[in-house]
């Protein structure tokens, strides 16, 4: 196969080393003059998703994300096949090796610098394009570059007749002609291991132009044994290497009417040997193919990305909620997920205790893991099931200081349980999330307060105030629809005085207008927004039935 052009990644000899042993192995290999400094150490890749090595027999398998690929000389590879000499300096790295092979690795900065200055690499490749060829490589985006390299490597070269520059130029033009929806300029990186998340409709053979590029490449030579599937795997490998990633996934759809909000993400690379009919890995939990950790504000959030959804757009709101929580408070998180707001309440807010409700069993398992991983497991209880029902059955009614209602598009179904859970003597705070038409922000807040006030009266707290003190825009959810959070005080005059809230005209139910610096009381006759359950396009009818999942 033809290799890629100069100045980009190429396959080289590597040793697979556990991540924890990287520094030790690198120093040992440097002392033995066996480290290939033309390339950088990279995340490990494996064709079957596991690192194969005889010394691992009888032990749990290692996944690529557990290891790194260390570029080494051919002499080093040969030494791995020989018995270590007693006390030899050149063999003190051998016990750290869990496998060896060839893998695409980025060039080191020094190597690239020599190329820019006209220096020669030690292993020039046949048929490689240079600036003198007139090939407009610099105009390609990273994604286009990965496609180009994958296509070039799919086309075999005759030994006497390397691929013509005109053929390479044709490939460049075809790649540049791909629409942005199919070939985006950037790929999202997710998590601490920089997992690449490919958009739903990007880089897929469902697009005729993209499919045609690869069909022409793999059929260039009738003797070629490269399949379309192999070519696509090569593309994922290229993208992973260029982005320093150990995993590539395709973004999946989340059914808005789904009760458990399962992820639709599917792993593209490395290949997973055991999956369900839907392409979900059989193994789950820590160390499994889909397990990922996302660290935000020093808080580690781990989960199985093939089973559990994760929203990156809420990172600022998570911190804001954690800072609103006061030390010593009891918090109820009615839609906890993997701990989006539970963990900030405990770690940042120093909450005394958090009751975390979740009915997706995979999310609940991840939440328990995260509580332990962040050292707060002794200050929280995970409650599985429908929070509208489970909270009523538990001994937390009338004991909670603050409630998070972080469900989209609406948490309306949980408002009654939230009101009942508040401290029966003083009340507390509700943080109500919702997807709200931009033009209906004020209408939604007034309606929200009126609805909660009705629930408060039904619960026997006639003297309590219901005041929306702040509306936070988390993000734009869709055109002209915003994800909002209303901070609603629901409680007695004594608590209101304690939190220092000046209601001025003694408005009992209403919202604070930040632009006018004045309170707006709820009207006697409420005006229902279109985002109310059952009233508009953001409807979620399943939430209306108050039955346990």
Segments of the chain assigned to CATH 3.40.50.150: 316-540
Residue 141 has pLDDT above 80, yes or no: yes
- CA 180 remoteness from chain centre: 22
Over residues 478-482, mean pLDDT: 88
The whole-chain average pLDDT of the chain stands at: 81
Please give the DSSP secondary-structure letter assigned to residue 106: P
Task: Indicate the helix (H) or strand (E) that contains 467.
Answer: strand 465-478
In the predicted model, what is the mean pLDDT of residues 473-499? 87
**Range 438-448 average pLDDT:** 94
Could you report the per-residue pLDDT of 247-283, keeping only the tens digit for each?
A: 999 998 766 556 666 788 999 999 888 888 888 999 9
d(CA 104, CA 237): 8
Q: Which of 254-268, 431-445, 514-528 has the highest mean pLDDT?
A: 431-445
What pLDDT is recorded for position 244?
Answer: 83
CB atoms within 10 A of CB 20: 11
**Top-confidence residue, 322 or 55:** 322
Closest CA to 10 of 118, 126, 167: 126
pLDDT at 179: 94
**214 within 8 A of 228, measured Cβ to Cβ:** yes
Question: Average of pLDDT values for 231-260?
Answer: 83
Average pLDDT for residues 175-192, to the nearest whole number? 92
Assign 3-state DSSP to the chain and report helix, strand, coil percentages, each to 5. Answer: 35, 25, 45
pLDDT, position 392: 77
| C-alpha span between 29 and 72 (Å, rounded) | 8
Q: What is the 3-state secondary structure (H, E, C) of 497-534?
A: HHCCCCCCCCCCEEEEECCCCEEEECCCCCCCCCCCCC
pLDDT at 235: 94
Q: Is the pLDDT of residue 469 over 80?
A: yes
* Torsion sign over Cα 19, 343, 197, 268: positive
**Distance from C-alpha of 43 to C-alpha of 48, rounded to nearest angstrom:** 15
Indicate whether this model's pTM tops 0.75: no
Does the structure show a pLDDT above 50 at 147?
yes
Taking 90 as the threshold, does the pLDDT of residue 510 lie above it? no
First to last CA, the chain: 55
Mean pLDDT of 21-39: 86
Indicate whether 348 pLDDT > 70.
Answer: yes
CB 468 within 8 A of CB 510: yes
**In 304-425, which ranges are continuous DSSP H helix?**
315-324, 342-347, 361-373, 387-393, 415-421
pLDDT at residue 292, rounded to an integer: 95
Query: Per residue in 290-337, pLDDT tens?
Result: 999 999 999 999 999 999 988 877 889 999 999 999 999 999 999 999
Q: CA-to-CA distance for 376 and 191, rounded, in angstroms?
A: 21
- In percent, how much of the chain has pLDDT > 90? 41
So what's the pLDDT on residue 300?
Answer: 95
- Confidence check: pLDDT of 123 > 70: no
What is the arrangement of strands in the sheet containing 67-71, beginning at the earlier edge strand?
A: 42-43, 67-71, 10-18, 97-105
Check pLDDT > 50 for residue 126.
no
Q: What is the pLDDT of residue 77?
A: 78
Tokens of 478: 């869709």
Integer Cα distance of 246 and 416 in angstroms: 45
pLDDT digits (tens, 9 = 90+) for 292-304: 999 999 999 999 9
Q: Which CATH number fits domain 316-540: 3.30.70.270, 2.170.120.12, 3.40.50.150, 3.90.1200.10?
A: 3.40.50.150
Q: How far apart are CA 81 and CA 95, in angstroms?
A: 13
Return the pLDDT at 116: 38
Alpha helices in 273-350 (DSSP H): 315-324, 342-347
Highest mean pLDDT among 87-96, 166-175, 465-474: 465-474
> Which residue do the tokens 């409650």 mark?
383
């Amino acid at each position: 196969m033809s290799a890629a052009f100069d100045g980009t990644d190429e396959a080289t000899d590597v040793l697979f080393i556990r991540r924890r042993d990287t520094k030790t192995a690198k120093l040992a290999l440097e002392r033995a003059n066996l480290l290939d400094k033309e390339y950088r150490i990279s995340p490990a890749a494996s064709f079957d998703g596991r690192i194969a090595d005889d010394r691992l027999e009888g032990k749990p398998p290692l996944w690529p994300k557990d290891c790194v690929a260390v570029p080494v000389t051919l002499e080093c590879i040969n030494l791995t096949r020989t018995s270590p000499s007693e006390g030899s300096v050149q063999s003190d790295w051998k016990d750290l090796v869990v496998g060896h092979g060839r893998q695409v690795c980025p060039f080191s900065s020094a190597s690239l610098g020599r190329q820019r200055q006209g220096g020669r690499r030690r292993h020039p490749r046949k048929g490689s394009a240079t600036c003198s060829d007139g090939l407009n490589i610099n105009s390609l985006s990273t994604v286009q570059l990965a496609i180009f390299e994958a296509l070039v490597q799919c086309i075999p070269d005759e030994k006497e007749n390397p691929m013509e520059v005109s053929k390479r130029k044709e490939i460049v033009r075809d790649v540049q002609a791909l629409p942005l929806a199919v070939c985006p300029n950037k790929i999202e990186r997710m998590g601490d291991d920089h997992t690449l998340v490919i958009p739903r409709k990007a880089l897929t053979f469902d697009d005729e132009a993209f499919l045609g590029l690869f069909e022409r490449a793999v059929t260039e030579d009738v003797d070629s044994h490269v399949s379309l599937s192999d070519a696509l795997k090569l593309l994922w490998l290229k993208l992973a290497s260029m982005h320093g990633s150990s995993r590539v996934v395709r973004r999946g759809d989340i059914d808005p009417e789904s009760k458990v909000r399962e992820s639709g993400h599917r792993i593209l690379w490395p290949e997973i040997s055991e999956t369900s009919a839907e392409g979900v890995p059989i193994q789950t939990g820590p160390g499994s193919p889909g397990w990922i950790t996302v660290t935000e504000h020093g808080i580690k959030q781990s989960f199985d990305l093939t089973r559990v959804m994760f929203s990156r757009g809420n990172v600022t709101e998570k911190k804001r909620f954690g800072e609103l929580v006061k030390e010593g408070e009891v918090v109820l998180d009615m839609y906890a997920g993997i701990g989006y707001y539970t963990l900030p309440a405990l770690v940042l807010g120093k909450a005394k205790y958090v009751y975390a409700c979740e009915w997706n069993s995979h999310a609940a398992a991840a939440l328990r893991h995260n509580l332990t991983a962040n050292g707060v497991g002794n200050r929280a209880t995970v409650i599985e099931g429908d929070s509208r029902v489970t909270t009523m059955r538990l001994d937390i009614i009338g004991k909670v200081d603050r409630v998070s209602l972080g469900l989209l598009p609406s948490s309306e179904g949980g408002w009654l349980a939230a009101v009942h859970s508040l401290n029966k003597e003083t009340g507390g705070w509700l943080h109500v999330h919702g997807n709200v038409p931009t033009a209906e922000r004020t209408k939604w807040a007034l309606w929200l307060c009126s609805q909660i006030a009705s629930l408060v009266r039904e619960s026997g707290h006639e003297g309590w105030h219901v005041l929306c003190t702040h509306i936070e825009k988390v993000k734009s959810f869709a055109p002209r629809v915003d994800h909002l959070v209303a901070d609603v005080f629901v409680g007695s005059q004594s608590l209101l005085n304690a939190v220092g809230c000046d209601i001025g005209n003694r408005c009992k139910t209403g919202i604070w207008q930040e632009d006018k610096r004045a309170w707006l009381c709820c009207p006697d006759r409420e005006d229902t927004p279109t985002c109310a359950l059952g009233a508009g396009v953001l409807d979620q009818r399943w939430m209306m039935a108050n039955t346990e999942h």
